[in-house]
Chain A
Amino acid sequence: MAKNILIMTLTRIGDLVQATPLVSGLRKKYPGARITLMVSSDFAEFSHRIPNVDHIIVLNLRQFVGKEKSKGILWVGVYEYLKRFLDELRGKNFDLMVNLSHSKLSAFINLYLGIRNHIGFACNETGDRMANHPWMQLFGIEPFNRAYNPFNLVEMFTRSGDVDPRGEKIQVLSSGDDDASIGEIVRRERLEGERLLIGFQAGSSLENRRWPASRFAELAQRLIEEHNAKILLFGVESESVLAREIFSLTHRKDRIVDLTGKTNISQLTALLKKCRYLITNDTGTMHIASALGTPIVGLFFAHAHPYETGPYAPGHLIFQARIDCAPCSYGVTCNNIVCIQKISALHVYRMIREHMETGDWNVPSISGPMGEINVYKTARDESGRIRLWPLVRHALTVTDVFREAYYSFWPQVLGNDSTCPGPVEVAENLAGHYDCTGAERIIFKAREKLAGLDRLLSLSGEGIQATEKVLQANSNGTGTSGKFRELTRIIEQIDARISLTGCSCPEVKPVGDMFAKRKENFQGENIDELCQQTLECYGKLAAEAGILKRSVSEILSWLESRVDCADQIEQSSISAAVPGR
């Protein structure tokens, strides 16, 4: 029973907001516990808006920015600060740590603090990475399998605390001072009495993720002309350039208020609550607004992936380019950014107009070509979890099949959660949201992918056999160092082939990656213990490959039985799914 919990999130405001269901769940689970939140100084002010937190600790590395020319060696100063900071933390005797930052920095902090029970990214005493808790392991493999990930970070964070995400909401605390804090702005900009305030968040942490300012301007123009909307431009000081560009491109400048760099958290919170909509790139502001109940029109470009970081609340709308390279991988630099061009201001305007008229997100009949656009709305599914439901019925793909299969699969195998939709329900959702006309080909291709699972099953069997040999040799004393080396080599080769299976069949890669992730946690040098852990890993791999295969088979069978078989099945090897998609 944890009494003193430390939650570490050092990265983004969005992560803080997305962690609120976990924090809320931990509060319920450990009602007597003291919950401390560790954040970086950039988000210190906002962190006080996170509910269910008793104490906030700020890691202030920003104090060293620009201090290169000061006396002494900067890194020595930073080292001393880190030591003091972490030693002080140690002194607080936390008994549970939850690390929501997937970074080496957080892993080393985790190691230094030495808190016995810890969840999340970590490293062992020799500095090798590991991740505690199956959902944190999934979080660790997700960046390499993004196309097949159906889980929002909220769900992954929440489940990593063994908290049920159903019914949990993201939250941001309001303060009694919030409204008062915008008094001057309201007066100056004559916001009182405005019937349609719409917020724009045109900036984002990464430039590639931004919808063009010209399109924001065009949208603003339409909203102003058609609905007399007043547009509030949010953002930080450095995004004022964008605000000025939007301003300059819009005719009705009296209907635009540039608030970039001019609001603190209180003011932002209060103003977001006043907005009817927030049109935003994937940003922290989006999550805050979502938590406050302001309907979001989210624009996800470049690396941004709505499944991971979409607003975790019902009633929001997401736009994303539907092109082969979206979302792009972390670390790539695109020199031909086409995704941001796919979403026109008209697309967005029409959806907003439809929403204003009907109160729901629907694709209006006169929407124009949407072949290269994904449009999702957020809604709770039957189990109470937030899903992204496509509003444009694109043709079903193999990727869609496996992604939805994983939605059912992972909670089942990682936490024995039977509340997730079963294969039939998954299939129904697919049929309901995707155009299954001519899906026979997809079904056929998807079935081919099951061979990948067969390979994993077979390899896990080989792995078990090899490991048992090691165990036997060790227990009856017949193991020479040469024999152990040979058996180790065999096991390594099996593991390499497991990894290769994922490479050649990306749809099953998450299962192989999870296997590898579990192995990273192996500790110690006792051969028997290591063998037992290895056997367990191979066992899970076999079980999971089997479960996934059955699940996907059922989904496909259902789809097959329901879809129109107008097209002949094309038994050709020409059509190959794009790896990773």
Chain B
Amino acid sequence: MDRFEENLKLLRQADPALANRVSGVPFPENILVVHARDGSPVPKLRQITLHSAYHPVKEAARTVSQFERPEGYQTVVYGLGFGYHVLALLRTQPGIITVIEPLMPMFRAFLSHADLSLYLPRVRFIIGESGTKIIARHQGLSWNVFEHRPSLQLAETYFDELERGRELLEFLGRSRLRILVVPPIYGGSLPTARYCARALENLGHHVSLVECERFEEGFFALRQTSRNKAHTEVLNNKFMDLMGQVVAARAAEFQPDLVLALAQAPLSPKTIASLKSLRVPVAFWFVEDFRTLPYWKDVAGHYDHFFPIQRGEFFEKLRAAGCPDAYYLPQACSLETHRPLRLSPEELGAYSADLSFMGAGYYNRKMAFPRLLDFDFKIWGTGWELESILGPHIQNGSQHVPTEEAVKIYNAGRINLNLHSSNWHNGVNPEGDFVNPRTFEIAACGGFQLVDERSELQELFVADKEIVTFGTLDELRDRVAYYLEHEEERHRISALARARVFAEHTMEHRMNEMLLHIYLHRLEELEVRLHGRKSELDIAIEQAGPETELGQFLGQFRDTPDFSFKKIIQHIESGKGALSETETLLLTLNQVIKEGK
């Protein structure tokens, strides 16, 4: 009996994205299903029988009987097969069990033969996903791993890399990398760069953010110097060269372990090459639509790692452009910035609306929004025409909205409208793929949103449970009307969305995933590099001896950025009360240094 359709129905409820992925997969021809002595179906692939040919159920019970589950760890199973061991674990282990199976065909075959109802809702299936992504999004350090040996034999490289990834995650957690972040000079992606820098710091790394925005005025002033396009282009190129030198100078001084550029960072191929001479990875997070901003063609081939927010055909184009490595990395939010707020009555008065939109006046939005003017609808952002029909709904004279204000808007609106931009559609882009940062930001603020359907969205949020989408403007209107009447449902969905963001979609998650991907095959190199370059504080403590008075005294500076001897003296001089012996000696030493003895 083929249980596939029945199981797919169950799967659609539990994990629509996975259901969608497997729905189009035919039963694999290379998996042979044999029946064990006890009648249980057993898959066989490449001469490997995934379970006992006699009693797979007994075998499973036997193999899991010795498996312990320490407190505070989640059970993760490497390899699915036909899940007998998973069922055995379900009988002996409480809580959720995560199953990681690299082969989608195996899962397809499993769905044909297993009874999924025995597994759901306690089993989370992760099928055919990159190890880096799994580790970054599913707390790779707190796994208690059960290995299904036959599955490991089938995908040895995959599981080896998974373990390497965990090892790397642990190493990164106790290491302090020096990361140079190069943002754009201006624009909507500038905040993303700042969030990246902060997230990397929160992960314990030492970050230097090049302050490119200080050159914004000069950049625009140059553009206005001449009306001759050719001249302007020359000036622009010269400016970019200068910016490249600025970045190179900063890198030379900072000596990073990694350079991360974002969006339209002012890095020419020449500058990227000079950064590479530092012998560190140079990565680029392209957080824009590759169709709208084609400059990626000039630079993608020069970076060591390229992280787009879109997949599919873009990956092929990147390969054609000579990009050595591309890895999909969606946007995210910053929990420090995007959070629920308690707004004052004045703020509520200013920002509250039945329907809110915060964003630039792109073509499709200008075309779509007149359909919504019968709602209590407020529009914020730049590029809106005040004289248009939308005029009375446009807030703050279409001025730029600072981030802090945007957070208030997300908090105050009963429904936040999130329509991805398009320069030529009249409303929803049916081919829309990437997910904008606003999706995560609104969710993090606890705001309720209606977002247009995007192909990448289903993997990030569970539709109708964590997020509500619309495919057409008619659907949008219906949804607006419905959810304005169903406040509790709005709150419930918002809460789940927020929980999902917390669990998987913060900037810290993304940065971790990026680092895991970059260093997965560079762990030894990184270990050697960091071992050879311990922080001054670590060296000082090691040299002094961690158990000595000096070593113990220095321990308090572990979280001090840019630790130096000067910081010690500043700390002592700002203290109160009697000086300890160690402090007195350090002050004495300071005088020795000052007197140049």
Interface set of A (CB-CB < 8 Å, partner B):
40, 61-62, 72-73, 75-80, 82-83, 86, 103-105, 108-109, 111-112, 125-127
Contacts and interface: CB of A to CB of B under 8 A. Distances in A.
B545 to A, nearest CB: 9
A61 B585 CA distance: 14
B459 to A, nearest CB: 49
Across chains A and B, which 10 residue pairs bring their CB atoms closest together, nearest first?
Answer: A105-B591, A108-B588, A125-B578, A61-B597, A76-B543, A112-B584, A72-B543, A104-B591, A108-B587, A73-B540
B536 A112 contact: no
A77 B565 CA distance: 13
Contact of B589 (A40, A75, A125): A75
B318 interface: no
Nearest to A80: B544
B577 interface: yes
Given A72-B539, A112-B585, A79 B550 contact: yes
B1 interface: no
B540 A62 contact: no
B581 A61 contact: no
A109 B573 CA distance: 17
A103 B588 CA distance: 10
Given A72-B543, A73-B539, A73-B540, A112 B597 contact: no
Contacts of B539: 72-73
A111 B579 contact: yes
B595 A105 contact: yes
B593 interface: yes
11 contacts: A62-B597, A72-B543, A80-B544, A82-B592, A103-B591, A104-B591, A111-B579, A111-B584, A112-B581, A112-B585, A127-B572
B586 interface: yes
A298 B592 CA distance: 31
Nearest to B536: A73
A542 to B, nearest CB: 34
A125 B579 contact: yes
Given A80-B544, A82-B588, A126 B577 contact: yes
A73 B543 contact: yes
Contacts of B584: 108, 111-112, 127
Given A72-B539, A86-B585, A61 B592 contact: yes
Contacts of A109: 588
A78 B540 CA distance: 12
A105 B589 CA distance: 8
A80 B597 CA distance: 16
A127 B539 CA distance: 28
Contacts of B544: 76, 79-80
B71 to A, nearest CB: 41
A79 B585 contact: yes
Nearest to B539: A73
A102 to B, nearest CB: 12
Interface in B536-557: 536, 539-540, 543-544, 550
Contact of A78 (B572, B587, B592): B592
Nearest to B573: A127
Nearest to B587: A108
A354 B593 CA distance: 49
Contacts of B550: 76, 79-80, 83
B123 to A, nearest CB: 53
A126 B578 contact: yes
B579 A127 contact: yes
Nearest to A127: B579
Nearest to A109: B588
A266 to B, nearest CB: 26
A432 to B, nearest CB: 43
A72 to B, nearest CB: 5
Tell which of A77, A78, A105 has the most Cβ of chain B within 10 Å: A105
B341 to A, nearest CB: 39
B518 to A, nearest CB: 30
Contacts of A105: 588, 591-592, 595, 597
Tell which of A86, A109, A127 has the most Cβ of chain B within 10 Å: A127
A127 B587 contact: yes
A76 to B, nearest CB: 5
Contacts of A104: 587, 591
Tell which of A82, A108, A109 has the most Cβ of chain B within 10 Å: A108
Given A75-B565, A76-B550, A125-B579, A112 B543 contact: no
Interface in B554-586: 565, 572-573, 576-579, 581, 584-586
Contacts of A82: 585, 588-589, 592
Contacts of A111: 579, 584
B240 to A, nearest CB: 38
Nearest to A60: B597
Given A61-B597, A78-B593, A82-B588, 9 more contacts: A77-B543, A78-B589, A82-B592, A86-B585, A108-B585, A108-B588, A112-B581, A112-B584, A127-B587
Nearest to A11: B595
A9 to B, nearest CB: 14
A279 to B, nearest CB: 30
A76 B584 CA distance: 14
A269 to B, nearest CB: 26
Nearest to A72: B543
Given A40-B597, A83-B585, A108 B540 contact: no
A103 B595 contact: yes
A82 B577 CA distance: 23
Contacts of B588: 82, 86, 105, 108-109, 112
